[in-house]
Structure 1
Amino acid sequence: MLTIRMNEAAATALQPLAATGLPTLSGTLDQDLQNLLASGVTDNEGALIFTAHTDRWPAAPASASDAVATMGWQDLTGYECNYNSFHLEDYAPVQVTIRDDGQPQIRTGDQVVLLRLGMVVADAVLGLVRALPQPPAVRCIILANDTNGTFRFHRIRPGEDWIDLADLERYPSEMTVVVDSQP
C-alpha cells in the first residue's frame, strides 16, 4: 500500500499531480543518480542503505549499531536518514545561484522540479525495496526549500521518526512530501 502525504506548500506546488500519484520525468535521470539507484539497497543490521553509500563516511564504523553509538544518532532511523540523504539539486537541471552572503538560492519553480525528482527517486527506491526477499515498510522524505532539496529514506519502525507526520505544516519554509510503502 502506498501513502503520499504533503504539506500545503508542496500540495499547492504539485497540485496537477495530486490525482496521478508518483510522477515521471521526461528525459533521463542524471547518470550519477542512475548509478546510485542501480547499486540497489543493502541491509546493515536491519538498516537499509544505498549500496553505493556503504563507504560514504570512511571514519564511521561499518556496523549500523556501532555507527549509531559513535556518530551520535539516536536510532537506526537516524542512521538510515543520514546515510541515505543526498541533495537533489546535485542531480537536477535547476539553477542554484549564490547570494552575496554566500547562501545558495533556488527559485520556486526549480524547487518544484526538485520535489518531482524526489518523487521519481522515491518510486525507484520503493521498487528496490519491493524486490527484496522480505520487503519492509519504508518511508521516503522529500524536502525542497529556497536553498536546497533533499531526499532520504528509512525503514518504518514503531517509536522512531525522522519527521513529524502529525504536523507537516510545522515545516513552513519547506515543501514537504512523505511517501510510505507498506508491504
Structure 2
Amino acid sequence: MLRLDLAPEFRLLKIETNSAGKKRQVDACGSRRDRVKPASERSAGAPDRAASRGALGIRSSPRTVRSYSDSAAIIERMFSLAMNDTAADLLGVLGGLAAGEPPGGLAPSLREHAAQGLSRRGELLTWASSVGNTAGTPSFFNDLTAWECSDSSLHLEDFVPVDVTTVDGAPVISDDGQRMLLMQGVAFALEFSRLVYVLDPPSPVRCIVGANETNATFRFHQIRSGESWNMPDLDKYGLDKMVVADITPAVT
C-alpha cells in the first residue's frame, strides 16, 4: 500500500509504501512560509516553482527539507492519499506524481458536480442536491458512515467518457479506461477537498475511489471514531484498484 501526505496547497510532504514486506519513506516539503516569489523578486536564472507544478498543483520534484515533523508542525490542514499496490502500479505514481494527473485536467462534468457544494443535515454530510431520506438514519445501514457512503456514491464512468464494452452481458472497462477513471477520481477528490476546507464547523472527511473492470465509483463520508466503510489494508481488495483520500481541515 502507498500513502501520500500533501499540504493543503497539494505539495508533497511524505510518501510511504509498504509492498512485498518492504517499507520505503521519502520526506519532502516546501513549508507554507516558503512562498513563490514574483518574477520581479527572483534572481536572474532562478527557476519558477509554480511552473514545475502540474495540473493538480503537485510539484513533480519537491524540495527536500531537514525534518518531516518540523514541516508538518506548521501545516494547519492535510490531504492524505492511500492506495493499494494495483492502483499505484496502474497510475505509475512511483515514477512521479505528474503521472497520475488526467490529461486535460478534471472532467468538466465532475467539476460541475462538485460546484453544487455540500449540505449538513443533522449529523450527516451530503451533496447539496441529495434527496436521501435522513429520517431514522442509519435505518438498515450499519451506521451513519455507511449511509453517507451510499448516498454520496457516484459512478465515474457516467461523468468521464471511456470505452465500455459488453461481454456476456456484463460491462468491461480496459486497463487504460480504469487508469483514466482513477486519475479523474483523484483529481475530483482534490477539487472536493476545497468544499471540505470551508465546512463550518470543520469536519474531517474521507473520499474513496475504486475502479475495476466493470465500473469506477467515488463516495465520501465524515471520519468518525470506530466507523469505517473501507478495509484498512487496501491491498486486501484483490479485484479493485483503491484510492482513499483523508481530508483534515484546520481546527481552531
TM-score normalized by the length of structure 2:
0.63
Shift of 1:17: 6.6
State the distance in 1 between where 2:150 and 2:246 align: 18
Q: Which letter maps to 1:26? A: G
The structure with higher relative contact order (CA 8 Å, sep 6+) is: 1
Shift of 1:29: 2.0
State the distance in 2 between where 1:147 and 1:35 align: 24
Determine the structure 2 residue equivalent to 1:180. 246
State the distance in 2 between where 1:134 and 1:25 align: 35
Shift of 1:18: 6.5
Q: When you count helix as a share of all residues, which structure comes out higher?
A: 1
The one of 12, 26, 32 aligned to 2:104: 26
Determine the structure 2 residue equivalent to 1:83. 151
Determine the structure 1 residue equivalent to 2:235. 169
The one of 168, 173, 177 aligned to 1:106: 173
Distance change >3 Å, CA 81–CA 173, structure 1 → 2: same
Distance change >3 Å, CA 45–CA 143, structure 1 → 2: same
Gap runs ≥5 in structure 1? none
Determine the structure 1 residue equivalent to 2:165. 97
Q: What does residue range 22-171 of structure 1 map to in structure 2 within 5 Å?
A: 23=101, 25-26=103-104, 29-31=107-109, 33-52=110-129, 54-55=130-131, 57=132, 61-63=133-135, 66-69=136-139, 72-99=140-167, 101-165=168-232, 167-171=233-237
Determine the structure 2 residue equivalent to 1:4. 81
Gap runs ≥5 in structure 2? 1-77
Shift of 1:42: 0.6
State the distance in 2 between where 1:16 and 1:153 align: 23
State the distance in 2 between where 1:134 and 1:17 align: 36
Q: Deviations over 1:144-171 (max 9, x none)?
A: 0000000001110011000012x11111
State the distance in 1 between where 2:138 and 2:103 align: 35
Distance change >3 Å, CA 40–CA 161, structure 1 → 2: same
Q: Name the count of aligned residue pairs.
A: 171
Shift of 1:3: 1.3
State the distance in 2 between where 1:138 and 1:51 align: 16
Distance change >3 Å, CA 130–CA 23, structure 1 → 2: farther
Shift of 1:30: 3.6
